């Protein structure tokens, strides 16, 4: 006969399990590993789409996917889509500067921006990018499957996209997600 | 100055709530009459402080005090007065304040109406309510303070979202919250009973009115939300199994079970453990629903600020309240003496079946709502669960509930025989069968089942009354005489059950709804549901802060008579760069005619037209259910103090 | 309370406490069992998978409902009539592949080319997607709370002033170019 105690304890057991699960969900949401409304990226595990973009000041040269591939061969690099009109991009900027200071090459693409505005943005907040290109019409972004700005892609040394982050890279995201990947693909 | 006072009042309420949580329970434990008597005073004190805080916030919004951050973010100088007032609770901070206010109102109500309760029980109930309030107020003060200031104040506020300026939206939260939060009182009763170690008939009688009141309010709140979605969102539907909708349905299901279970405790002192668990569970579901939406875990059109940090705080609050009460349940549960015996076939048995089925439906809704989250958490899978799932699982479980609903009230307590009960229902059964068969043949299986169930329930309710007045057994005059003498709660039950039947008929009718999507130029027409729908004109219009395009559609009968004229429109708000769609609905009480204006193409307009039979009955049925509940509440025998508690408390029916 | 039996009925017609509990558990078991059984069946047929255009090959066939998400390809939106019903057609892309979507209905107010979209529907015989429901995603920028807080703390933006102002209108003479 099932002991009464067991039955009486069942609701508490279920509630505890639920509580633990929700705790983990919340934790995941803060770190960015759990996103109940996120849409996955199809680029993971593949090379970047073909493109060739003009320069965005203060960078003298634009770049193409071939340039990216070549540069990534030396060191995993981060491709970052940003815009001067995008507020979280400002916050992310500090983090990008820190990452660059730590030796990570970052290439930037100004998305749907005016060249003057983007240049001002860089001048005001600092330039973490080795090269910056301009995608004013936003068509390359569509090829990437961009959902908005800021958005970043990590390319490994074979030029394959290994990680995509939609949103600002916070210190938490950088340390918990990006750094381990950098070590892994170094 | 006023916001400062409001802030102070909020903090004061928190302090009083803390005292309210500790002192009376300590007093009940120690038998200190003075501390126990302090409970109602503290509850009223907390209520007054929160009224002051809420008043301060509403005042700040009405006078457009833009030094208050909450007003800046959610209001604007040009907002109509009604929405300045009702918009106070349309944002996260304001709605938390509303939650706390209603919780305090519950405490005040127990203080005011609980004079018939023994001092110790009342003290404990108020104490538990105080503890919950304290947690919520802490949460409000630390993470969701509506009185944060801004200096210098901006010229105007940001809160003119036209989508949110709607009467249905304005009144849906308070009523819904009153239902949600109202179940805190049965919860407090359950915890108090566990602390005391005693659940008896008297307890059952005391708990019922509180459960019934919350149930009525929750029913109205859910119905109002569904109706709002119907006429505002413009998709022609009335229930989307949206996670937040489900979060309101779950406590309603267990609340209904609680309502019925408490009857058994009162009448037979049985099902004690069930009832206590249901009381704890219903409020837990209310709280969890709040958590899931506000933390951003469940996303839907309702999401407020999605803030995982706030989510952690609420999770901690939940752990304390739910975990604590369930732990108490585990420890003290065995102390609840088992009550009266009954045969499986009896009114108690029927109510047990009712409990089991309602909880099964609730479990299904919980699983369906949570499954995508867990699938993502554990397996990284991206799936969604929608109407097909819920329809396939809830309907088969609901059918037995409807079948039993008509039979249950006919069964005797303790031990019943089925045949006499069925005999009284034979008319209802025949009509239901006929209606059902006709519907199945005329349409499909599902409407057939639903119409049949609807007829069964309504006629069952009539048969219930008929049985009570011994219709047919004694003379007509004598029966009518009995009718006048019937208790209100008897009428209440029958009316509420019949109301459910009306709602089911509405749902059945809506399953037969037809719609069409057409592109019409002015002068052209189309056919739907036997009518001719003609687009007469496409014109410009305007309002105080918007420009509009309005379509005029005439509904013509076969002989050319105009049955109705509809004017759906699309409004463009230049300041917010937002477009909203205004649905046009005309109703005859039996059918809803529904039209939506879409985009325009080279002189014509895309229109979506709906013919919704029996749609209004969905909400009318809900109102009838709530009215039945309210009628039962007004039955004095339900509310007046129970007879003095006896050791072997037996209550004469 | 002692075991109560009706006064005149022999013990075998009354129910012992143990038996009653057994019946109760049985009832609960049946209730729970049927719920679980119904759910299991429903999961097989009614769960809606989420698919990206690149994974369209994995999408369920046989007319089963599923969701597809991505960006609306710029320039792909056309409005036509199919079978007399006004239909919107567009392509959904995730950067690597795109799928044609056809939707007979009124597009949501937020729907725009180049924006995110999620559609619920089925595969059409020709491999395109026939949508029953189209949901547009919201605006283009993300603003997590800690980002907003950080901006406020740095004085970059005061929410009381309204929406974040356009970047090129900020005047920040004190700022020095950070880094190189």
A22-39 pLDDT, tens digit per residue, is 888 877 776 666 665 555
Residues C57 and C98 in one domain: yes
Residue C94 covered by a domain: yes
Same domain, C116 and C59: yes
Q: What confidence score (pLDDT) does residue A40 get?
A: 63
Can you tell me the mean pLDDT for A6-28? 85
- Considering the domain architecture, whether residues C87 and C125 belong to the same structural domain is answered as yes
Given a contact as 3+ CB pairs under 8 Å, which chains touch B? Answer: A, C
Evaluate if residue B506 carries a pLDDT over 60.
yes
Checking if the pLDDT of B255 tops 90, the result is: yes
- Residue at C30 is within a domain: yes
Chosen for mutation from A99, A127, A142, A169 (greatest number of chain C CBs closer than 10 Å) is A142
On whether residue C117 sits in a domain, the answer given is yes
The domain tally of chain C equals 2
- Nearest CB to C38: which of B307, B393, B578? B393
Q: Hey, are the CB atoms on B352 and C65 less than 8 Å from each other?
A: no
A134: its two tokens = 């301009």
Question: Looking at the domain assignment, is residue C171 inside a domain?
Answer: no
Could you give the CA distance from residue A179 to residue A99 in angstroms, rounded to a whole number? 9
pLDDT of residue B482: 78
Nearest CA among B374, B394, B396 for reference residue B384: B374
A17 Cβ contact partners less than 8 Å away, ≥ 6 residues apart: none
Taking contacts as CB-CB distances below 8 angstroms, the residues of chain B near C67 are 384
Distance, CA of B233 to chain centre: 20
> Does residue B575 or residue B149 have the better pLDDT?
B149
ipTM: 0.79
Distance, CA of A183 to CA of A166 (rounded, Å): 21
- Ranges of beta strands (E only) in B498-622 are 514-520, 525-528, 531-542, 547-556, 562-566, 569-573, 578-582, 584-587, 591-601, 604-613
Whether residue C76 sits in one domain with residue C25: no
Q: Identify the contact set of chain B against chain A, taking CB-CB distances under 8 A.
A: 273, 277, 280-281, 284, 288, 291-292, 295-299, 308-309, 311-312, 315, 318-319, 322-323, 326-327, 329-330, 333-334, 372-374, 376-377, 382
CA distances from B305 to B96, B145, B226, B274, B368 (A): 12, 14, 22, 36, 24
Predicted confidence at residue B643, as pLDDT, reads: 46
**What pLDDT is recorded for position B557?**
87
Q: Which residues of A108-117 are buried (b: 16+ CB within 10 A; e: fewer)?
A: bbbbbbbeeb
Q: Are the Cβ atoms of B383 and C49 closer than 8 angstroms?
A: yes
Average pLDDT rounded to a whole number, residues B488-495: 90
Residue C131's pLDDT is what?
Answer: 92
Question: For position B473, what pLDDT does the model report?
Answer: 74
pLDDT at residue B309 above 70? no
Task: Work out the number of other CB atoms within 10 angstroms of the CB of residue B508.
Answer: 24
C74 and C106 housed in the same domain: yes
Is residue A1 very low, low, confident or very high in pLDDT (cuts 50, 70, 90)?
A: very low
Is A62:A53 a contact under the CB 8 Å cutoff?
yes
What is the per-residue pLDDT across B125-183, written as a single tens digit (0 to 9) for each? 999 999 999 999 998 998 889 998 888 788 877 766 666 677 777 788 889 899 989 99
C178, part of any domain: no
Of B291, B373, B382, the CB nearest to A40: B382
Q: What is the pLDDT, as a whole number, of residue B307?
A: 61
What subunits touch chain C, counting only 3 or more CB pairs under 8 A? A, B
User: Is residue C131 a part of any domain in this protein?
Assistant: yes
What is each CA distance from C111 to B222, B548, C69, C74, in whole angstroms? 29, 19, 13, 12
Mean pLDDT along residues B399-414: 89
B609 touches B592 (CB < 8 A) = no
* Residue owning tokens 């599902």: B446
pLDDT at B636 over 50: yes
| Total residue count of chain C as it appears in this document | 180
Which pLDDT score is estimated for C2? 40
Q: What is the pLDDT of residues A48-80, one digit of tens each?
A: 888 999 988 888 888 998 999 999 888 999 999
Residue B37 DSSP SS3:
helix
DSSP designation for B144: -
List the single residue in C with minimal CA-CA distance to B155: C161
pLDDT in tens, A148-165: 778 899 998 888 888 888
pLDDT of residue C11: 44
Q: Å from C36 to nearest chain B CA?
A: 8
Would you give per-residue pLDDT tens digits along chain C (180 residues)? 344 444 443 444 556 777 777 878 888 888 889 899 988 888 877 788 888 887 788 788 778 888 888 878 878 888 888 877 889 999 988 767 789 999 988 888 778 777 778 888 999 888 889 999 888 765 545 555 555 565 666 666 665 555 554 433 332 323 333 332
Compare C112 and B439 and report the one with higher pLDDT.
B439
In this structure, are C96 and C32 located in the same domain? no
Are B194 and B333 within 8 A, CB to CB?
Answer: yes
Looking at the structure, tell me whether residues C27 and C100 fall in a common domain.
no
B648, pLDDT greater than 50: no
A152 CA: distance to closest CA in chain C (Å): 13
Mean pLDDT over B205-210 rounds to: 91
pLDDT class of B259 with cuts at 50, 70, 90: very high
Instruction: Report the mean per-residue pLDDT for chain A.
Output: 84
pLDDT in the model for residue C164: 52
C-alpha pair distances (Å), C158 with each of A78, B76, B144, B306, B395: 31, 17, 18, 20, 51
- Tell me the H-state helices in chain C: 17-46, 145-153
Domain boundary assignment for chain B: 1-165, 389-512, 519-615
pLDDT at B338 over 80: no
**pLDDT reported for residue B305:** 47
In this predicted structure, what is the pLDDT of residue C146?
Answer: 53
Percent of all residues in chain B with a pLDDT value above 90, rounded to a whole number: 45
Same domain, C33 and C94: no
B98 or C138, greater pLDDT: B98
Q: How far apart are CA B102 and CA B83, in angstroms?
A: 20
User: Residue C36: which domain range?
Assistant: 19-49
Considering only the beta carbons, identify the residue of A88, A97, A100 that sits closest to C142.
A88
- Name the pTM for this structure: 0.83
> Other CB atoms closer than 10 Å to residue B558's CB: what's the count?
8
In a domain, residue C154? The reply is no
Distance from CA of B156 to the nearest CA of A (A): 22
Q: Measured between CA atoms, how close is A28 to chain B, in angstroms?
A: 9
Contact call for A124 and C170, based on CB within 8 A: yes
Q: Is residue C146 part of a domain?
A: no
Q: Who contacts C95 (Cβ-Cβ below 8 Å, separation ≥6)?
A: A41, A42, A43, A49, A142, A143, A144, A145, A146
Joined tokens for residue B612: 């919704």
- Check CB contact under 8 Å for C143 and A87: yes
Q: Using only C-alpha atoms, what is the Rg of chain B?
A: 27
Q: Residue B483 and residue B471: Cα distance in Å, rounded? A: 10
Give B360 to chain C, closest Cα distance, Å: 6
Domain match, C106 and C35 both: no
Q: What rounded mean pLDDT belongs to chain B? A: 87
Considering the domain architecture, whether residues C44 and C81 belong to the same structural domain is answered as no
Tell me which of B643 and B452 has the higher pLDDT: B452
pLDDT at residue C8 in the model: 42
């Amino acid at each position: 006969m099932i002991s009464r105690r067991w039955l009486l304890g069942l609701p508490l057991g279920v509630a505890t399990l639920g509580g633990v699960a929700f705790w983990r969900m919340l934790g995941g949401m803060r770190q960015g590993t759990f996103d109940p409304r996120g849409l996955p990226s199809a680029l993971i595990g593949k090379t970047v789409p073909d493109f060739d973009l003009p320069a965005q000041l203060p960078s003298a040269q634009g770049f193409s996917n071939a340039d990216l591939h070549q540069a990534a061969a030396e060191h995993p690099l981060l491709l970052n889509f940003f815009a001067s009109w995008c507020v979280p991009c400002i916050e992310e900027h500090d983090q990008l500067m820190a990452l660059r200071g730590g030796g990570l090459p970052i290439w930037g693409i100004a998305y749907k921006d005016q060249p003057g505005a983007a240049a001002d943005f860089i001048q005001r907040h600092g330039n973490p990018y080795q090269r910056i290109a301009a995608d004013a019409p936003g068509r390359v972004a569509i090829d990437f499957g961009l959902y908005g700005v800021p958005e970043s892609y990590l390319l490994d040394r074979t030029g394959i996209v290994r990680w995509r982050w939609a949103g600002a890279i916070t210190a938490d995201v950088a340390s918990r997600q990006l750094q381990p990947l950098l070590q892994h693909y170094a | 100055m006023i916001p400062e006072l409001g802030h102070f009042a909020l903090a004061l309420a928190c302090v009083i709530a803390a005292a309210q949580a500790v002192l009376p329970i300590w007093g009940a434990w120690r038998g200190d009459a003075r501390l126990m008597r302090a409970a109602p005073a503290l509850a009223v004190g907390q209520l007054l402080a929160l009224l002051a805080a809420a008043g301060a916030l509403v005042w700040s919004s009405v006078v457009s005090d833009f030094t208050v951050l909450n007003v800046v973010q959610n209001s604007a100088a040009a907002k109509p007065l009604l929405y300045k007032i009702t918009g106070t609770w349309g944002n996260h901070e304001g709605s938390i304040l509303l939650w706390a206010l209603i919780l305090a109102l519950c405490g005040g109500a127990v203080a005011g109406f609980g004079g018939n309760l023994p001092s110790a029980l009342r003290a404990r109930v108020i104490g538990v309510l105080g503890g919950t309030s304290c947690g919520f107020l802490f949460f409000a003060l630390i993470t969701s303070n509506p009185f944060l200031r801004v200096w210098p104040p901006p010229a105007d506020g940001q809160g003119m979202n036209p989508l949110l300026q709607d009467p249905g939206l304005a009144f849906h939260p308070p009523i819904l919250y009153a239902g949600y939060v109202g179940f805190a009182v049965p919860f407090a009763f359950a915890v108090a009973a566990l602390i005391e170690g005693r659940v008896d008939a008297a307890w059952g009688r005391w708990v019922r009115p509180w459960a019934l009141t919350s149930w009525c309010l929750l029913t109205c709140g859910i119905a109002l939300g569904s109706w709002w979605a119907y006429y505002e969102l413009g998709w022609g539907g009335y229930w989307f199994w949206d996670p937040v909708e489900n979060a309101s349905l779950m406590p309603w299901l267990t609340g209904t079970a609680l309502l019925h279970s408490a009857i058994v405790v009162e009448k037979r002192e049985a099902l004690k453990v069930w009832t206590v668990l249901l009381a704890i569970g219903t409020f837990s579901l209310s709280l969890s629903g709040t958590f899931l939406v506000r933390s951003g875990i469940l996303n839907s059109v309702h999401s407020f600020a999605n803030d995982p940090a706030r989510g952690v705080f609420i999770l901690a609050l939940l752990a304390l309240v739910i975990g604590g009460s369930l732990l108490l349940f585990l420890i003290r549960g065995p102390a609840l003496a088992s009550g009266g015996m009954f045969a499986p076939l009896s009114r108690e048995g029927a109510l047990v079946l009712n409990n089991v089925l309602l909880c099964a439906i609730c479990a299904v809704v919980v699983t369906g709502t949570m499954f995508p989250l867990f699938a993502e958490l554990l397996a990284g899978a991206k799936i969604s669960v929608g109407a097909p799932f819920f329809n396939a699982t809830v309907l088969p479980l609901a059918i037995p509930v409807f079948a039993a609903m008509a039979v249950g009230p006919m069964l005797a307590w303790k031990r019943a025989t089925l045949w006499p009960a069925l005999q009284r229902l034979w008319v209802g059964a025949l009509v239901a069968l006929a209606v059902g068969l006709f519907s199945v043949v005329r349409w499909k299986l599902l409407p057939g089942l639903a119409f049949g169930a609807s007829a069964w329930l309504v006629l069952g309710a009539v048969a219930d009354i008929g049985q009570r007045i011994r219709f047919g057994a004694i003379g007509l005059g004598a029966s009518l005489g009995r009718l006048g003498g019937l208790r209100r709660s008897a009428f209440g039950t029958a009316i509420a059950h019949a109301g459910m039947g009306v709602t089911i008929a509405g749902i059945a009718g809506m399953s037969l709804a037809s719609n069409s999507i057409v592109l019409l130029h002015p002068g052209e027409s189309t056919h739907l549901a036997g009518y001719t729908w003609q687009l007469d004109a496409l014109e410009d219009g305007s309002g105080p802060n918007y420009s509009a395009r309005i379509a005029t559609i005439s509904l013509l009968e076969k002989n050319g008579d105009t049955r109705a004229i509809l004017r759906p429109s699309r409004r463009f708000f230049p300041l917010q760069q937002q477009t909203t769609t205004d649905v046009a609905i005309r109703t005859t009480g039996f059918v809803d005619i529904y039209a939506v204006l879409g985009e325009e193409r080279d002189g014509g307009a895309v229109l979506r037209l709906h013919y919704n039979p029996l749609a209004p009955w969905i909400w009318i049925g809900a109102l009838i259910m709530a009215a039945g509940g309210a009628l039962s509440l007004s039955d004095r025998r339900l509310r007046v103090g129970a007879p003095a508690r006896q050791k072997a408390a037996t209550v004469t029916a | 309370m002692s075991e109560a039996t009706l006064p005149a009925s022999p013990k075998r017609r009354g129910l012992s406490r143990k038996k009653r509990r057994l019946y109760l558990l049985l009832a609960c078991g049946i209730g729970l069992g049927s719920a679980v059984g119904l759910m299991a069946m429903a999961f097989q047929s009614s769960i809606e998978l989420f698919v990206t255009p690149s994974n369209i090959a994995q999408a369920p066939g046989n007319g089963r409902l599923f969701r597809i998400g991505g960006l609306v390809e710029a320039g792909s939106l056309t409005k036509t009539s199919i079978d007399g019903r006004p239909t919107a057609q567009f392509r959904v892309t995730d950067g690597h592949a795109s799928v044609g979507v056809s939707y007979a209905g009124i597009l949501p107010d937020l729907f725009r080319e180049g924006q995110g979209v999620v559609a619920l529907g089925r595969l059409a015989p020709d491999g395109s997607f026939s949508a029953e429901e189209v949901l547009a995603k919201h605006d283009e920028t993300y603003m997590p709370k800690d980002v907003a807080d950080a901006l406020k703390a740095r004085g970059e933006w005061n929410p009381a002033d309204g929406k974040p102002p356009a970047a090129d209108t900020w005047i920040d003479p004190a700022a020095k170019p950070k880094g190189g």
